[in-house]
A and B are shown apart, each in its own frame.
Chain A
Amino acid sequence: AQKVTQVQTEISVVEKEDVTLDCVYETRDTTYYLFWYKQPPSGELVFLIRRNSFDEQNEISGRYSWNFQKSTSSFNFTITASQVVDSAVYFCALSEGNYGQNFVFGPGTRLSVLP
């Protein structure tokens, strides 16, 4: 069965600090997909990134970067120079199978960025 673990329940940082959110997953499939979503205080879920299991290249998008390591079954998310607007709950998710539609979400990490 697929499983996603986010051991950090809550993180607080001061603005401009870098912060890394950890995600560890379990799956028996060789083809799977990993995602990160952001849920700001307003409540909606915002898609951030999708990765397939054969693409281990790190990705950078502005202040956001993702590190995918199959050897440790991890898909970590780093925010550089954090801002107050980054305060949100961040969810890591995994889907497996041919179509990869059955998402399993981790419990989320609540990030508070203090001014």
Chain B
Amino acid sequence: DAGVIQSPRHEVTEMGQEVTLRCKPISGHNSLFWYRQTMMRGLELLIYFNNNVPIDDSGMPEDRFSAKMPNASFSTLKIQPSEPRDSAVYFCASSFLRLAGGFFRNEQFFGPGTRLTVL
């Protein structure tokens, strides 16, 4: 079975350019998450969707960041304009949120990440 797919795997761009990161969740999963990983701040949750609807975007750092999920099999994270401090590894994760035995099965499965470098 295919896991979470992210593209591109590496992106190098210049400050001020628009960057679009893409994610295809695991088929059948109903929740999708975007994370950012840096040495200084570790793993941070940026935004997540349930059934394609954004639920919590409080982790999105600034208005320069936006995320969309037009359908159950695709999501994008856009940075416009990009800045050097946006350089990081961006992970997409998905989960199949459901009740089991009175508790939620909510484990998240991560994609390989996109390493973004903004010069």
Contacts and interface: CB of A to CB of B under 8 A. Distances in A.
Contact of A54 (B95, B103, B106, B108): B103
A102 B42 contact: no
Interface in A4-52: 31, 33, 35, 37, 43-47, 50, 52
A101 B106 contact: yes
A99 B31 CA distance: 11
Interface string A77-109: 000000000000001000100111111111110
A91 B110 CA distance: 13
Contacts of B43: 91, 105
Contact of A100 (B106, B109, B113): B106
A99 B33 CA distance: 14
B54 interface: no
Contacts of B111: 44
A95 B106 CA distance: 9
Interface size on A, as a range, is 20 to 34
Given A45-B91, A105-B42, A105-B43, A99 B106 contact: yes
Contacts of B105: 50
Interface of B: 31, 33, 42-43, 45, 48, 50, 55-56, 89, 91, 93, 95, 97, 103-113, 115
Given A45-B93, A102-B48, 8 more contacts: A31-B103, A43-B115, A95-B106, A98-B104, A99-B106, A100-B106, A102-B45, A103-B45
Interface of A: 31, 33, 35, 37, 43-47, 50, 52, 54, 91, 95, 98-108
29 contacts: A33-B103, A33-B104, A33-B106, A35-B107, A37-B110, A43-B89, A43-B112, A43-B115, A44-B111, A44-B113, A45-B93, A50-B105, A50-B106, A52-B103, A95-B106, A98-B104, A99-B50, A99-B97, A99-B104, A100-B104, A101-B31, A101-B33, A101-B48, A101-B95, A101-B97, A102-B45, A104-B45, A105-B43, A106-B42
